[in-house]
Amino acid sequence: MPPADQPPAPERPGPSRGDANGETSPAAATPGATQGATPGATPGATPGATPGATQGATPGLPLFYRQPAMLTPARHGRSGLLPGSARFAANTIAVPLVAEEFAAAARSFPVVMGRTPAHGAFAVVGLRQNQNLFVDAGGRWLADAYVPLYVRRYPFIFVEEPGSSRLTLCIDEAAEQFQADRAEGKGEALFGADGQPSETTRRALAFCEAYQRGHLATLAMLKAFAEAGILTARNAEAKLPSGEKIVWTDFTVIERAKLDALPDATLLDWRRKGWLEAAYAHLWSLARWEALLALAAARGA
């Protein structure tokens, strides 16, 4: 990650994994809506999603994260986690996805790609700025909807150590479930009395490590899609029951005809890598725009 994504230097390194690249850029992890007028928007329309732009995020930090700090026994030896809600995700309209979850996500949301491969892929979860239709008023993610890995990872994240490519596990100390000091032993400890990572921390480390592999694999897949010339810029426009028009801009999708026209050798290679399944899941997911409109109507959004 760029220096802006890094927390203050800790007393000593915490759980980490070496020699890997962090999430490519803040833009890749902070999708959302642009403020103000949308170029080319229909007069009277409400600007909508522009996956890859910052929205629902702290400037310079990945989406959702406000105060990430390297997880260390010196800093977090008495800290813990309480059960938390999904309120942290309530103000975003697009959530990053990795390729391995496209098929599962496609059953709940439209899956789109950002402006460039480096911007990643996203689940569209809302229609207008600062409104995630899949988080209810009580801060609960809708029970029948898929929960993206990026959401499940929170409040943990990998961050590059200053001056190094080594990745260290961090935690967002601004998360509602984070306890700086576990009162009366409540919540899950982050470190044991011996200073070793707890089972909670070890699970978080393994989850972040797997997510990182998926993130890098997704960027490689999207780069291949772009180089094959199958991605095209797309805008989307819809009309709510109230008569309000919503316009989404600045995302890309796969052109089915161009995908089908690829050489057999390329399609076979992509099938072996799991990329063909991801491509078709993305295409199937585009039918979910109507479901988003129905959900917005049901919630009076």
63-78: pLDDT as tens digits:
999 999 999 999 999 9
- pLDDT score, position 271: 97
Cβ(99)–Cβ(220) below 8 Å: no
- pLDDT score, position 299: 81
Lowest model confidence (mean pLDDT) among 127-136, 184-193, 282-291: 184-193
How large is the average pLDDT for residues 259-267?
98
Average per-residue pLDDT for the chain:
82
Is 52 or 298 the better-scoring residue by pLDDT?
298
- pLDDT score, position 197: 96
Write down how long the chain is: 301
Instruction: Please give the residue range of the domain that contains residue 138.
Output: 3-299
- pLDDT score, position 9: 29
Residues 6 or more apart whose CB falls under 8 angstroms from that of 71 comprise 14, 15, 156, 168, 169, 170, 171, 190, 201
Amino acid at 280: Y
For 173-190, how does the pLDDT look when each residue is reduced to its tens digit (9 = 90+)?
Answer: 999 999 999 876 788 999
Give dist(CA 146, CA 125) in Å, integer: 11
Has residue 19 got a pLDDT over 50?
no
Cβ(66)–Cβ(91) below 8 Å: no
Give dist(CA 172, CA 79) in Å, integer: 12
- pLDDT score, position 129: 83
Number of structural domains found in the chain: 1
- pLDDT score, position 249: 85
How large is the average pLDDT for residues 249-259?
95
